[in-house]
Structure 1
Amino acid sequence: MQTALQQHLTAEDYLAWEETQVEKHEFVAGEVFAMVGARQDHVVVCGNIFAGLKQRLRGTPCRPYVADLKLRVDAADAFFYPDVMVSCHPGDLSNQQFISNPSLVVEVLSDSTAAYDRGGKFAVYRKLDSLKEYLIVDIEARRVECFRRAADNDWLLHDYVGDVDCQLRSLGIRIPTSEIFEDIA
């Protein structure tokens, strides 16, 4: 869940201000939103996904990142903290504050963010030319929804439920759902 703060900043002011903050804040068109902490299952699933990506992408130009690195979406004048993302773009290696060219973005749903992750946030993410796949992970349903960019900028849903491999075609890898939901009761 996010809470809007009563201030209006430019993207540059936000980046400078955010560096001095203890808590994380997302930024959309001048508005700043405080981020709320995550539940244990959420953190475990994010860690599982990151670990699976890290292991499978070793030796490639692609790097996975976890929730503490910002994603910049210039077309929407926005910065987000996705749960996990992967960039294979060489330009992202030199920027220490944010990523701008992810191939994959992952959001693990919580009750307070599910509607936004599926709606408004996904609409903004689709403005990223580099984005090829968007994963929405539903812990309660043990489901991974993979939205994959197709021709003409259409997005197709690939649903992974049960004991199956989640195919990440943008990266040429698979991660079993059993690994994604490992240690979740």
Structure 2
Amino acid sequence: MIAIKEKLPPMTPEEYFTWEEQQLEKHELIDSQVYAMSGGSVNHSRIAIRFTTMVDTHLDTSSCITANSDLRVNIAGTNNYTYPDVSVTCDERDKTTTQYITYPCLIIEVLSPSTESYDRGGKFRMYRKNPILQDYLLVSSTSIEIDLYHKKDTGEWLIINYQAGDTVELKSINLSFPIEQVYRNLDLTPETTP
């Protein structure tokens, strides 16, 4: 999804929640500024749905919560709120809130050409503030390629690049799957702007 800065005055989280309930589109709140979230491509949508379904099915008998892009993530220790494509929390503290979660162990973002640098840079810097986050998955929508940022026990982040023929391993939720499972029957030609 693409984030576009709105020309609105700075907002507190309370003002943001009240205001956004009256909007047709979703908006992120970053440093008191509101950003409209526009739609993604067909591949973006299909990949996000596949991950949501696969992860939710895998965690079906657990107490973890799998969320799609309709649930906000509060960046731990801040008043910033984002809408990742897929998130998972197994933290009991997230069961006391209804409009967002704060302690996901897994966040998945499907990349688009307009957001890739932000997802890899500024957004990841924000997400890393979460002490519970173990896996941050960046998924290409134009080629069979997934980058996993995995936090080791030492606190260092390891980057693993998965490509065709690889098995992706998400230690945060104990899930392994062949990468092709996500990309089956997709047209992987580069996206063009209409």
Tell me which amino acid in the other structure corresponds to 2:3: Q
Q: Which has the higher strand share?
A: 1
Counterpart of 1:64 in structure 2 is 66
Structure 2 counterpart of 1:37? 39
- For the aligned residue pairs, the C-alpha RMSD in angstroms reads 1.2
Q: CA deviation at 1:165?
A: 1.8
CA contact 1:45–1:182 (8 Å) conserved in 2: no
Q: How does 1:50-129 map to 2 (within 5 A)?
A: 50-129=52-131
* Shift of residue 2, structure 1, vs aligned partner: 1.7
Which amino acid in the other structure matches residue 3 of structure 1?
A: I
Q: Distance in 1 between matches of 2:185 and 2:11?
A: 41
The answer (yes or no) to whether the contact 2:26–2:36 under 8 Å persists in 1 is yes
Q: Aligned partners of 1:11 and 1:29: how far apart in 2?
A: 10
Preserved CA contact (<8 Å) 2:94 2:103 = yes
- Work out the CA distance in 2 between the residues paired with 1:126 and 1:135: 13
User: CA–CA distance in 1 between the matches of 2:76 and 2:12?
Assistant: 12
Identity of aligned residues (%): 31
- With normalisation by structure 1, the TM-score equals 0.95
TM-score (norm 2): 0.91
Residue aligned with 2:177, SS = strand
Residue 76 of structure 1: how far off its partner (Å): 3.6
**8 Å CA contact retained: 1:62, 1:87:** yes
Letter in 1 for 2:144: R
Q: Which runs of 5+ in 1 are unaligned?
A: none
Shift of 1:13: 1.1
Q: Does 1:146 align with 2:148?
A: yes
Partner Cα distance (1:96, 1:77) in 2: 16
Q: Residues 83 and 137 from structure 1, CA distance in 2 versus in 1: closer, same or farther, beyond 3 angstroms?
A: same
Structure 1's consecutive aligned runs of 4 or more residues displaced over 6 angstroms after TM superposition are: none
Contact 1:25 1:35 in 2 (8 A): yes
Q: State which of 166, 184, 188 in structure 2 corresponds to 1:164.
A: 166
Query: Shift of the alpha carbon at 1:152?
Result: 3.7
Unaligned runs of 5+ in 2: 188-194
Count residues in correspondence. Answer: 185
CA drift of 1:138 comes to 0.9
Which structure has greater helix proportion? 1
Preserved contact between residue 143 and residue 159 of structure 1 (Cα < 8 Å): yes
